[in-house]
Structure 1
Amino acid sequence: MKLVKSLVLGSAAAFVMTAGAQAADLPGAEPVDYVKVCDIKGSTGFFYIPGTETCLQIGGFARLETTYGEVTNDDDANKVGYRVRARVWFDARTDTEYGALRTFIRLQFQRETGAVGTAGSANPQFEGDDFFYDQAFVQFAGLTAGVTDSFWDFKPYPTFQNPFISDRTVPVLAYTAKFGDASASLSLEDKTYRYRDSTNATPNAGTEAPDIVANIRVKQGWGEAQISGVASYINPKKGYADQVGGIATGVGGDNEWGWGVQGGVKLNLPTANTSDAKGDFIWGQAGYVDGAGLSYVGLGDANVGSGRTQNITAFNPQRDYYLDGDTQKTKAFNANLGALHYWSPQWRSALQGTYVDVNYRKLNADWSAWSVAGNLIWTPVKKLDIGAELVYVNTDYSNRASFPANASRKDDDAFIGRLRVQRDF
């Protein structure tokens, strides 16, 4: 037995010595930081993807919204609506000799109250950003290519609901040149994401040219400002009996260019009631379009409720142009003014007023509307918001003879209440 034990111990010792000699031939392993923080100016939450030089940020939120209101004569219409929305985004950036190479993807999933008599729906809206993903773009050396915010839009908006403000994600091919704190952008944008009528049909015969959008923007310590413009090519169907609000308005029309211009400013205000980079501000915007599309002044998807309730565009005509032998371009103007104030690090509120005026020129169909929205938001812990908002909408259809469908509205005004619970990460 002693002989066997000696042989076993001797064999084990020889194996260890041999393994040690082989290990000595291997290069020494360096300690590895599998999660290493990226230092990106103005941003937090980035880390290196292991084995690469690419920095990645992951974020998102989960949100519940429910609204109550009554704006139509239909007693069977939804007066209460629910919408649950989830977002997850991935922001990847790599330094190159040309500057940062960025890829951004934002996924979005949604369940909401369905139309009257139907089950809840996760159905996407063609012109909106309500399903699966609403942003996916690449940025490199001033180039932006993909689906992102329109270069026409000017954010941020202080309230939950903004019924007469453009807020669209669209496919774009754009270039931005920076000059210190200022920038200038030129963007070719997909017009089919904007040009819809009240039945969600495309009024244009075909897209012959993208919308041409340009802006000049400046951002400094005092705030930011932007001037943007758009040119849009109109290609009406020859011999097509155009309709507005169910009324035929004629046939024929020439190709035309529509246009629009918008200006906005945000002023940061001093505050001692917030512990992070956020703070009080005043925000204002005004825009005008002549045939460029009513969505540029926030019409076409102006739902002031959640879950397919209180859609104010269901009782006003949405037409970017109409035909009466000539192409008659619709004119529209909007203006908005809002403010956000932190009462304490846990409490903030916002107030915003908005106005829109639509002119169909020769057609007896002009209308205008205005709204006021106010909210109060409680943040008991960081990145958890529990808030309530009340919206009042007033419409003026004094020239509504051409649109009997507008009789479906409940009154010339309405109140809509909204409750939101949102957790960001």
Structure 2
Amino acid sequence: MRFLKASLLGSAAAFAAVGAGQAADLPVKKAAAVEYVRVCNAYGAGFFYIPGTDTCLRVSGRARFEYLYQNSGNRSGTNGDVSGYRSVARMNLDARTQTAYGTLRAFTRIEIQNRTGPYFTSGSRQREALAFPALGADAFGRAQQYVDIDKAFIQFAGITAGRASSFFDFYAHDYEFIGGTTGSDTYSTNLLAYTATLGGGLSATISAEDPTFRRFPVFGSGSNTAASPLAFNGGFAPFGSATFLSPIVVGTNQIALVDVTQKNRVPDVVGVLRLDQAWGSLQLSAASHEINGGNASFVSTSNTGGLTIASAGRAPTTYGWAVQAGGKFNL
């Protein structure tokens, strides 16, 4: 019996040893390391590959706080507020993909601000649909939320399309405190441009740009004693009116019902010649801008106040122009 037990135990040990030997011969496969974030060095610091794609992305932004104190001589309206506060949040997304025809880039910048006080809030930004005001009697004109798609453009093979800084601009979007001054920040616009690289750091650009944010009412002169009830001196009609109207005077006749809001008919045309070097950059730029009064009909009145149809037509169109030269030097 003892011999049988010893034989069985010996057999079991032999099987165990053979099994262990066979297990040792099996290949051992380690799990591949998961690369959650892969650095992209092709376009500078801060880029990483979006998982599963060949697109490099950089996420950046900033937070900013400003406080302004400016003495006020009286307390009427919002003039009694001497303090102003502004908190700014900015987010940038810069995506780039290398293609057979060059780099394809998409860039967006969103800026959101909370602004209080009469020096930081802006009625112009509200009229341009870039901000909305608080409506309470104690906060109207003194508190404002500002939301702006400052940049949203695509660049490929020399073409820039979307919302971007005007190519006319050379020194824009600095960080000056705008309270108490007219400010130096230049707002972006919608554009379609082509840039040709000429070699040696020299480039030339032609750009067609949206003039909407660079238009202002064309003001008339004279009284509106014989004008329609919809006509208002200065060209600003009440909320809800379909057209902004203003009377003007030509010769001895008063012309009423002239549409003073400019129409978006012809894009601004910008031409740029630029040189970029290690020591800095130089730029020469020029632009044209249409000034028009739309296609509004007008009527004339006599000096006696009686309304008579004299002629019909539209205000003449003219063009303005601008030239700029600038230089930057890296010290």
> Which range, TM-score by smaller chain?
0.5 to 0.7
TM-score, normalised on structure 1? Answer: 0.48
Q: In 1, Cα distance between the equivalents of 2:321 and 2:271?
A: 12
Three-state SS of the structure 2 residue aligned to 1:208 is coil
* 1:66 match: 67
CA contact (8 A) 1:148 1:169 kept: yes
Describe how 1:13-412 pairs up with structure 2 within 5 A.
30-41=32-43, 43-70=44-71, 75-76=76-77, 77=79, 78-113=81-116, 126=128, 130-155=146-171, 157=174, 159-161=176-178, 163=182, 165=184, 167-180=186-199, 181-196=201-216, 203-237=260-294, 238=296, 253-269=315-331
**Alpha carbons of structure 1 residues 208 and 146: separation in structure 2 relative to 1, 3 Å:** same
Q: In 2, Cα distance between the equivalents of 1:256 and 1:188?
A: 18
Q: In 1, Cα distance between the equivalents of 2:260 and 2:213?
A: 12
CA contact (8 A) 1:125 1:131 kept: no
**Alpha carbons of structure 1 residues 222 and 81: separation in structure 2 relative to 1, 3 Å:** same
Number of residue pairs matched?
Answer: 237
- Give the C-alpha shift of residue 194 in structure 1: 1.5
- Give the C-alpha shift of residue 142 in structure 1: 0.9
- Give the C-alpha shift of residue 107 in structure 1: 1.5
* 1:398 match: none
- Give the C-alpha shift of residue 234 in structure 1: 2.1
CA contact (8 A) 1:150 1:169 kept: yes
Three-state SS of the structure 1 residue aligned to 2:107 is strand
The alignment yields a C-alpha RMSD, in angstroms, of 3.8
- Give the C-alpha shift of residue 33 in structure 1: 2.1
Q: In 2, Cα distance between the equivalents of 1:98 and 1:226?
A: 27
Q: In 2, Cα distance between the equivalents of 1:34 and 1:166?
A: 39
Q: In 1, Cα distance between the equivalents of 2:292 and 2:41?
A: 50
**Alpha carbons of structure 1 residues 183 and 71: separation in structure 2 relative to 1, 3 Å:** farther
Q: In 2, Cα distance between the equivalents of 1:266 and 1:240?
A: 50
Q: Which amino acid aligns with 2:161?
A: A
CA contact (8 A) 1:114 1:120 kept: no
Q: In 2, Cα distance between the equivalents of 1:79 and 1:95?
A: 52
- Give the C-alpha shift of residue 88 in structure 1: 0.9
**Alpha carbons of structure 1 residues 82 and 53: separation in structure 2 relative to 1, 3 Å:** same
Q: Which amino acid aligns with 1:152?
A: F
- Give the C-alpha shift of residue 30 in structure 1: 4.5
Q: In 1, Cα distance between the equivalents of 2:260 and 2:165?
A: 23
**Alpha carbons of structure 1 residues 266 and 33: separation in structure 2 relative to 1, 3 Å:** same
- Give the C-alpha shift of residue 252 in structure 1: 6.2
Q: Which amino acid aligns with 1:69?
A: Q
Q: In 2, Cα distance between the equivalents of 1:108 and 1:155?
A: 19
- Give the C-alpha shift of residue 74 in structure 1: 6.0
Unaligned 5+ runs, structure 2:
1-18, 132-145, 218-233, 238-243, 245-258, 300-312
- Give the C-alpha shift of residue 38 in structure 1: 0.8
* 1:293 match: none
Q: In 1, Cα distance between the equivalents of 2:160 and 2:267?
A: 16
Q: In 1, Cα distance between the equivalents of 2:314 and 2:74?
A: 36
Q: In 2, Cα distance between the equivalents of 1:111 and 1:65?
A: 11
Q: In 1, Cα distance between the equivalents of 2:148 and 2:262?
A: 29
Q: Which structure: greater strand fraction?
A: 1
CA contact (8 A) 1:111 1:120 kept: no
Q: In 2, Cα distance between the equivalents of 1:50 and 1:267?
A: 40
Q: In 2, Cα distance between the equivalents of 1:257 and 1:133?
A: 29
**Percent identity (aligned):** 38
Q: In 2, Cα distance between the equivalents of 1:120 and 1:264?
A: 29
Which structure has the bigger radius of gyration? 2
**Alpha carbons of structure 1 residues 81 and 204: separation in structure 2 relative to 1, 3 Å:** same
Q: In 1, Cα distance between the equivalents of 2:86 and 2:66?
A: 5
- Give the C-alpha shift of residue 158 in structure 1: 7.1
Three-state SS of the structure 2 residue aligned to 1:39 is coil
TM-score, normalised on structure 2? Answer: 0.61
Point out which structure has higher relative CO (alpha carbons under 8 A, 6+ apart). Answer: 1
Query: CA offsets, 1:137-167, max 9 Å, x none?
Result: 1111111111111111112547444736461
Q: In 1, Cα distance between the equivalents of 2:130 and 2:186?
A: 9
Q: Which amino acid aligns with 1:184?
A: A
